[in-house]
C-alpha cells in the first residue's frame, strides 16, 4: 500500500467533512490556541471542551495573561474538566515560556517537550498544526485508525506497538499538509473509525483497510486490559456554623491537588470512612443527606454527605481550612465531585430560606 494513495483520499474527505471547532478558526493557526485545546481534549469530550475553550480565552487570551494569573483563578477556570494537573502544568509552562521564550511557544521539538505537561503527542500537534512541521500527533485516534488500516496486531498501548504505528504515520504524513493530516486522523477516529462498532460504510479508507478486508474491525486494535478501578467510600461532613460551612484545601501534590472540598475521609469500608470522618471533625455523623457516585480513571468514589452533629475545624487558623458561606464557594476552586455536593447544598439552603 502506497501511503500517498490513502493520505490523498483522507485529506479529500477532511476537506469536505472537517469538524468546525473554535480552536481551528484562526488562519494561520494560533500556537497558544492549539496548545490549550489539545491539553483540554485529553480525557475530555470535544463538545464539553468547546465552552471551556471560549471561556478560557476570554479570561486568558494570551500566554502572558495566563502566566500572570494566580493559580486559584486558573483552577477555577478549569473547574469541571477534571484532571487538574493539566491546568497546573499549563500555568507553569506559560510562566516558563514567558521567562525563556519571551511569551512565544518554541518551534523546537525538545524545547516544547521540556515544558510541563507537554508530551510527544502535544509536541506533534503544536509543531504540525501551528508551525507546519512534518511531525505526526500520535493519539488514541491515530493509533486505532492505523492499527486497523495496516492490520497491526501488536498491543497499541505497549512501547513496540506505538513505535510501529508512529513509523507508519511518519511515512504517511505529507510535507505540505501535516497539520491537516493529523486533524483528519483525529476526526476520522472520533466520528467514523470509533472504538466499538466502527462505521466502515462511511469510511473514506475502507477500500484500503486490512482490518475490514480480514473481518477484524472489532478485534483491532489490540489493547492490554485495564486494571479494575478501586472502589472507595467517601464520607463527607457538612459542618455549619452561623451559615458558613467548613471546607478544606487538598495537598499541593497528588489527586485533585490544591482543590477545595468538604471535609472527607476515603476508605474501602463505608463504616470505617464514616468513623474516620467523625474522628477528623470530632463530631457525630448524623443523617445521610446526599449520595453520589463519581468515576475517575483509576477510582470510583461512592460519596455520602453527612449532616454533622457537632464537629469543628481540625486546624483552626490554618490557611488550608476555611468557614465559607455558600455565596463564597465560587471564590475557591472546588474539586469536581465536591462542586456537585456544593450545588445540591446551595439549592437545599435556598429552598429552606424561601419557605
Q: Where in the sequence numbering do the catalytic residues fall?
A: 38
| Rounded Cα–Cα distance for residues 154 and 48 (Å) | 32
CB 250 within 8 A of CB 336: no
| Rounded Cα–Cα distance for residues 176 and 266 (Å) | 53
First to last CA, the chain: 72
**Helix (H, G, I), strand (E, B), or coil: what is residue 290?**
strand
| Rounded Cα–Cα distance for residues 201 and 212 (Å) | 10
CB 234 within 8 A of CB 303: yes
Helices and strands (H, E) in the chain, number of each type: 14, 8
Please give the backbone phi and psi of residue 156, each rounded to the nearest 5 degrees, phi first: -75, -10
Q: Which residues of 96-120 are buried (b: 16+ CB within 10 A; e: fewer)?
A: ebbeebeeebbeeeeebeebebbeb
User: Could you tell me where the DSSP H helices lie in the chain?
Assistant: 3-17, 31-41, 46-59, 63-68, 71-78, 85-101, 109-113, 120-131, 140-150, 159-172, 178-191, 210-213, 270-281, 336-354
CB 31 within 8 A of CB 131: yes
Residues in the chain: 355
| Rounded Cα–Cα distance for residues 107 and 29 (Å) | 14
Torsion angle of the four alpha carbons 60, 344, 42, 300, in this order, in degrees rounded to the nearest 10 = 150
Residue with cell 475530555: 44
Amino acid at each position: 500500500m502506497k501511503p500517498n494513495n490513502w493520505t490523498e483520499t483522507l485529506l479529500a474527505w477532511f476537506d469536505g467533512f472537517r469538524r468546525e471547532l473554535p480552536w481551528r478558526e484562526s488562519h494561520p493557526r494560533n500556537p497558544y490556541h492549539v496548545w490549550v485545546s489539545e491539553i483540554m481534549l485529553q480525557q475530555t469530550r470535544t463538545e464539553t471542551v468547546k465552552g471551556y475553550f471560549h471561556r478560557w480565552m476570554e479570561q486568558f487570551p494570551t500566554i502572558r495573561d495566563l502566566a500572570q494569573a494566580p493559580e486559584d483563578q486558573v483552577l477555577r477556570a478549569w473547574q469541571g474538566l477534571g484532571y487538574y494537573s493539566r491546568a497546573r502544568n499549563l500555568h507553569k509552562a506559560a510562566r516558563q515560556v514567558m521567562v525563556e521564550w519571551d511569551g512565544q511557544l518554541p518551534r523546537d521539538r525538545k524545547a516544547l517537550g521540556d515544558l510541563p505537561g507537554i508530551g510527544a503527542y502535544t509536541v506533534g500537534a503544536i509543531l504540525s498544526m501551528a508551525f507546519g512541521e512534518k511531525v505526526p500527533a500520535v493519539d488514541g485516534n491515530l493509533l486505532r485508525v492505523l492499527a486497523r488500516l495496516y492490520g497491526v496486531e501488536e498491543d497499541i498501548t505497549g512501547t513496540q506497538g506505538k513505535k510501529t504505528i508512529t513509523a507508519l504515520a511518519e511515512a504517511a504524513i505529507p510535507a505540505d499538509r501535516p497539520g491537516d493530516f493529523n486533524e483528519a486522523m483525529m476526526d476520522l477516529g472520533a466520528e467514523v473509525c470509533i472504538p466499538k462498532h466502527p462505521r466502515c460504510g462511511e469510511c473514506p479508507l475502507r477500500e484500503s483497510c486490512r482490518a475490514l478486508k480480514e473481518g477484524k474491525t472489532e478485534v483491532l486494535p489490540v489493547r492490554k486490559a485495564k486494571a479494575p478501578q478501586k472502589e472507595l467510600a467517601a464520607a463527607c461532613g457538612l459542618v455549619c456554623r452561623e451559615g458558613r460551612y467548613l471546607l478544606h484545601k487538598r495537598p499541593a501534590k497528588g489527586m485533585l491537588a490544591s482543590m477545595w472540598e468538604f471535609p472527607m475521609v476515603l476508605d474501602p469500608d463505608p463504616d470505617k470512612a464514616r468513623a474516620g470522618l467523625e474522628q477528623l471533625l470530632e463530631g457525630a455523623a448524623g443523617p445521610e443527606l446526599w449520595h453520589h457516585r463519581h468515576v475517575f480513571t483509576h477510582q470510583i468514589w461512592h460519596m455520602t454527605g453527612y449532616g454533622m452533629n457537632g464537629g469543628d475545624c481540625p486546624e483552626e487558623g490554618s490557611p488550608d481550612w476555611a468557614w465559607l458561606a455558600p455565596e463564597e464557594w465560587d471564590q475557591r476552586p472546588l474539586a469536581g465531585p465536591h462542586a456537585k455536593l456544593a450545588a445540591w447544598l446551595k439549592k437545599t439552603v435556598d429552598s429552606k430560606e424561601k419557605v
